[in-house]
Structure 1
Amino acid sequence: MYNFVKRGVYMLLIAGLTMGAAGCSDDDPDYENVTPPVVEVASNTLTGVITSLNGEGVSGAKVLLGADNSATTDANGVYLFKDVKAGTY
């Protein structure tokens, strides 16, 4: 009886492996036809806060970035430069 059960287990194992191997196919995608997504690159921004000695934001301060670019702080002292070229300022 033990040998019969042992052979049955081996037969089931072999049958399972055979069915698993037979079910496999070449399902790898064809990467030759893949088009990468178009990603929009965000523009560079530079922002900061101008504060007084007591830590409150300074409203209406003019901030210069080089000779051609300026921004004015809002009511909280925050300024923002959009589309800043990469570099050292």
Structure 2
Amino acid sequence: MSKKVFTIVSIICVLLILIVTFVPFKQNPSSTTRVVVDHFNHKYAFPSCYDYEEASNYIDEVTLKDAQDLKYPPMNECTKKKAQPQYKSMLKRLLESTEI
């Protein structure tokens, strides 16, 4: 009886480890992510994607949700890619959050 229980528990543990390691889950960008909005051109960009040559002087820093509530489109392709949901495994998320 105990050998059977051990086998079942072992199989469940292996399955959980495989799921955590390989199965990608959808991850949307946080609504509190900071973005730069250009109120003159009515566009937004992530700070790493901000194009200083296209922008005006009428800029502000707000959350992604606020920029989307203003119905501003992304400034460039880099921002469009970062605003899309990403699919990552739980292990990859954990490694990224701990910066290992």
Q: TM-score band (shorter)?
A: under 0.3
- Scaled by the length of structure 1, the TM-score of the pair is 0.28
Q: Which has the larger radius of gyration?
A: 1
- Scaled by the length of structure 2, the TM-score of the pair is 0.26
Identify the structure with bigger relative contact order (alpha carbons < 8 Å, sequence gap 6+): 2
